[in-house]
């Protein structure tokens, strides 16, 4: 099985995903093969919020990801959460995988994946109908990192859909934006929604820097993931 979804003994899912598995409690049943199509399972792919440009401490961020995934993943009867990063050398993916081992989290409902979040299906065979964006408070396409990648890949459709929905977002909050079906991310990757999330900023070169105040920072990052996962739950429902 190429659907590598465990944390310690099996490396990240880095290429194509097995599209069908034996019938489980998730997904829709194919009446002919009596199998479940993984493509049909609502899936949120999310990057590690704040840990690159916003310079948030990776150990603390990993603790919060694990805490929030543990809180939410088993609440989803029929949905998956996937933490994504670009490289096999990703420190945050390694930390999360180490910290999650031994926790009571269903490996079908949460796993990690190495790849570009804008090409999860076309290059990795992983269907994710929802992707999260580590956004800036203005919800501008610019900057770098995953924000620029998602706005570039989605085309002007995402910018206009975002502006229709919300003008700005304060740290710790998320906004769900339905993606117009003309967007290349929709047609090529099957992404129907983007959830913008603004995390805490520890980078003095960026707005709203918390000056190393990790009491505030951790609270804001927890709120950001809560808001992200609740936003995803509102789509799945
Ligand atoms: N696919 C998957 N993961 C990615 C990709 C990608 N294409 N690009 C980056 N990552 P960052 P932040 C990972 O810096 O720290 C922007 O300028 C990356 O390796 O994108 O929250 C915004 O406008 C890291 O693990 O977001 C904001 O101003 C994670 O995504 C600011 O950066 C987040 O890295 C937000 O900074």
- CA 203–ligand 1 middle distance (angstroms): 13
Angle, CA 214 vertex, CA 226 and CA 75 arms, to 5°: 20
Q: What are phi and psi of 62, to 5 degrees?
A: -65, -40
pLDDT tens for 80-103 read: 999 999 999 999 999 999 999 989
Does the Cβ of 112 fall within 6 Å of ligand 1? no
Percent of the chain scoring above 70 in pLDDT: 85
Q: Which CATH class is domain 40-236?
A: alpha beta
Spatial distance between the Cα atoms of 88 and 111, rounded to a whole number of angstroms = 14
Share of the chain residues as helix, strand and coil, in percent rounded to the nearest 5: 35, 20, 45
At 12 the pLDDT is 52
> Look-up: residue for tokens 């990690």?
112
Does the Cβ of 162 fall within 6 Å of ligand 1? no
Given a contact cutoff of 8 angstroms between Cβ atoms, the answer to whether 175 and 168 are in contact is: no
Spatial distance between the Cα atoms of 50 and 85, rounded to a whole number of angstroms = 13
The residue whose C-alpha atom lies closest to atom 24 belonging to ligand 1 is 52
The ipTM assigned to this model is 0.99
pLDDT tens for 2-57 read: 333 332 333 455 444 433 332 233 333 344 444 557 778 999 999 999 999 999 99
Spatial distance between the Cα atoms of 37 and 22, rounded to a whole number of angstroms = 9
- CA 9–ligand 1 middle distance (angstroms): 27
Spatial distance between the Cα atoms of 94 and 184, rounded to a whole number of angstroms = 31
């Amino acid at each position: 099985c190429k659907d590598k979804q465990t944390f310690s003994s099996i490396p990240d899912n880095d290429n194509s995903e097995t599209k069908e598995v034996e019938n489980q409690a998730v997904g829709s049943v194919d009446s002919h093969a009596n199998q479940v199509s993984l493509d049909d399972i609502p899936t949120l792919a999310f990057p590690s919020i704040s840990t690159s440009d916003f310079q948030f401490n990776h150990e603390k961020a990993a603790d919060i990801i694990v805490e929030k995934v543990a809180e939410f993943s088993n609440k989803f009867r029929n949905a998956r959460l996937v933490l994504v990063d670009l490289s096999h050398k990703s420190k945050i993916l390694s930390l999360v995988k180490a910290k999650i081992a031994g926790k009571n989290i269903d490996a079908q409902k949460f796993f990690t994946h190495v790849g570009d979040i804008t090409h999860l299906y076309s290059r990795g065979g992983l269907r994710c109908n929802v992707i999260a964006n580590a956004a800036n408070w203005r919800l501008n396409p610019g900057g770098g990192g995953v924000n620029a990648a998602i706005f570039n890949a989605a085309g002007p459709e995402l910018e206009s859909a975002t502006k229709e929905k919300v003008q700005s977002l304060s740290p710790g909050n998320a906004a769900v934006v339905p993606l117009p079906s003309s967007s290349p991310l929709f047609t090529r990757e099957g992404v129907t929604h983007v959830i913008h999330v603004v995390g805490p900023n520890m980078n003095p070169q960026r707005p709203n820097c918390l000056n190393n105040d990790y009491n505030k920072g951790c609270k804001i990052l927890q709120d950001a993931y809560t808001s992200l996962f609740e936003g995803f739950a509102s789509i799945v429902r």
